[in-house]
Amino acid sequence: MDNYFATVSRGLEQVAADELRRIGAEDVRPEFTGVHFKGDRRLLYKANLWTRTTFRILKPIARVKSFNGDELYRSIQKIDWSEYLEPDMTLAVTCTGKSKLLNHTHFTALQIKNAITDWQKVRGGKRSSIDTENPDLQINAHIDEKHCIISLDSSGSSLHRRGYRPAIGAAPMKETLAAALLDMAEWTPDLAFLDPMCGSGTLPIEATLKALNVAPGLYRDFGFQTWLDYDRNLWQSLLKEAEGQQKHDLKIPIIGSDRDLQVIKQAFINAESSGLEDYVQFARRELSEVEAPADHGVLICNPPYGVRLGTEAELGELYKLLGDIFKQRFRGWTAYVLTGSMKLSKQVGLRTSQRIKLYNGAIPCTLLKYEMY
């Protein structure tokens, strides 16, 4: 049983922990912006293939002393890198965290890279080349006071990149956050779903992927596929299993609308890229024209709140309109509004039944729940 660490967005630690437990992770322990867990190689592959709310799955291989740059260099050279890296493989090192004497992540990453390639040179003469875009082995270093945790990044590129989104709106929501909102809203595929401010369609597309049980990592590559211990047969069996678990019909509508025709065109492109154009519905529609597509369902929206788009003065009427539409047209529904402005949210004019603190990127936000009885 190996130790792993999933990196997650601030505020989503418990959501990600629950998701990891559902796929079989053991000894799951959430902490600030991450989740520790244990499992075998099969679980490592499954975590990359199936988790919708994590950014990266790291495999820690060493915790070394790192009081300063010289000590870190010496500590890195004590690791047997032949277990993980051959000279003809490319390498990249990323670093997070700081200490008093290691306070520049680029320098720290460079020190680690030099220690590894010097280790190779002493033992064979040839060093691995550096490839920051698509390395065969991506190493993550995290400085924690006087120690450094060295991990192998099994994901490669961030897991929020599902591989389907060529078209991006002005202030796009990450797929990981969209998936987490669906979990927080306790949305299930037997309930209609609507996002009346869908932008380039991230929320409706993530809802459709979940409803059809499409593994979010099915159409992309991962870092572990170029590791020395990569088990191709195991990975192919997991892909085949995932494909066999997909569903091919929806019993409820999943709808996204927006007043901006250009972003709706982007949403259509994203739906086609993900193979979901026959399942998710997109339409150009003014907010004032939005109607409930079923007697019961879940509405989630992320209206502008004056940080990336619009100004607070302009947006007050928009929030008031949201509240009026909820009251008049969505009886029997549960509505959720993700906002970074509690001042604007008061314009909705409805009592919330729940408030959940989280982050949209670096922006502190609140997910507001309204039950329309």
Q: Is residue 234 part of a domain?
A: yes
pLDDT at 2 over 50: yes
Lowest mean pLDDT among 23-32, 87-96, 103-112, 204-213: 103-112
Q: Is residue 220 part of a domain?
A: no
pLDDT for the residue numbered 170: 52
pLDDT at 167 over 70: no
Q: Are residues 147 and 278 in the same domain?
A: no
pLDDT for the residue numbered 312: 63
Q: Across residues 340-349, what is the average pLDDT?
A: 91
Average per-residue pLDDT in the chain?
93
What b/e sequence results for 26-49 when a residue is b if at least 16 CB atoms lie within 10 Å of its CB, and e otherwise?
eebebeebbbbbebebebbbbbbb
Angle between helices 202-211 and 261-273 (to 10 degrees): 30
Would you give the DSSP letter of residue 196?
A: T
Q: Is residue 114 part of a domain?
A: yes
Would you give the DSSP letter of residue 132?
A: S
Pairing of strands 91-96, 137-144: parallel
What CATH number has the domain bearing residue 136? 3.30.2130.30
pLDDT at 364 over 70: yes
- 315 — pLDDT class (breaks 50, 70, 90): confident
Give the 3-state secondary structure of 32-101: CCEEEEEECHHHHHHHHHHCCCCCEEEEEEEEEECCCHHHHHHHHCCCCHHHCCCCCCCEEEEEECCCCC
What CATH number has the domain bearing residue 338? 3.40.50.150
> What is the total residue count of the chain?
373
Q: Across residues 209-222, what is the average pLDDT?
A: 94
Segment holding 112, helix H or strand E: helix 105-124
Q: Is residue 219 part of a domain?
A: no
Counting the structural domains of the chain, the total is 2
pLDDT for the residue numbered 164: 65
pLDDT at 310 over 60: no
Q: Are residues 184 and 98 in the same domain?
A: no
Q: Are residues 138 and 179 in the same domain?
A: no
pLDDT at 308 over 50: no
- pLDDT tens column, 30-81: 999 999 999 999 999 999 999 999 999 999 999 999 999 899 999 999 999 9
Rounded Cα distance, 18 and 202, in Å: 22
The amino acid present at 361, given as its one-letter code, is: G
Q: Which of 174, 241, 181, 239 is nearest to 210 (CA)?
A: 181
Q: Is residue 159 part of a domain?
A: no
The amino acid present at 30, given as its one-letter code, is: P
* End-to-end Cα, the chain, rounded Å: 48
Q: Is residue 19 part of a domain?
A: yes
Could you list the residue range(s) of the whole structural domain that residue 241 is in?
175-214+230-371
Pairing of strands 363-371, 91-96: unpaired
Q: Is residue 235 part of a domain?
A: yes
Paired residues of 291 in beta bridges: none
Rounded Cα distance, 252 and 6, in Å: 33
Boundary residue ending a domain (121, 153, 185): 153
Q: Are residues 140 and 77 in the same domain?
A: yes
Q: Are residues 75 and 183 in the same domain?
A: no
pLDDT at 171 over 90: no
Place of tokens 């998710």: 280
pLDDT > 70: percent of the chain: 95
Q: Are residues 191 and 133 in the same domain?
A: no
pLDDT at 95 over 70: yes
Q: Across residues 222-251, what is the average pLDDT?
A: 97
- 238 — pLDDT class (breaks 50, 70, 90): very high
Rounded Cα distance, 296 and 252, in Å: 10
pLDDT for the residue numbered 370: 98
CA distances from 358 to 136, 153, 249, 368 (A): 34, 25, 33, 11
Q: Are residues 181 and 135 in the same domain?
A: no
Cβ-proximal residues to 18 (8 Å cutoff; 6+ apart), any chain: 183
- pLDDT tens column, 101-159: 888 899 999 999 999 999 999 988 799 999 999 999 999 999 988 899 999 999 999 99
Token duo for residue 191: 């309930």
Q: Are residues 148 and 188 in the same domain?
A: no
Q: Are residues 258 and 360 in the same domain?
A: yes
pLDDT for the residue numbered 87: 94
162 vs 88, more confident? 88
Q: Is residue 116 part of a domain?
A: yes
Q: Are residues 112 and 240 in the same domain?
A: no
Token duo for residue 355: 């408030």
Q: Across residues 246-252, what is the average pLDDT?
A: 94
Q: Are residues 38 and 134 in the same domain?
A: yes
Q: Are residues 274 and 199 in the same domain?
A: yes
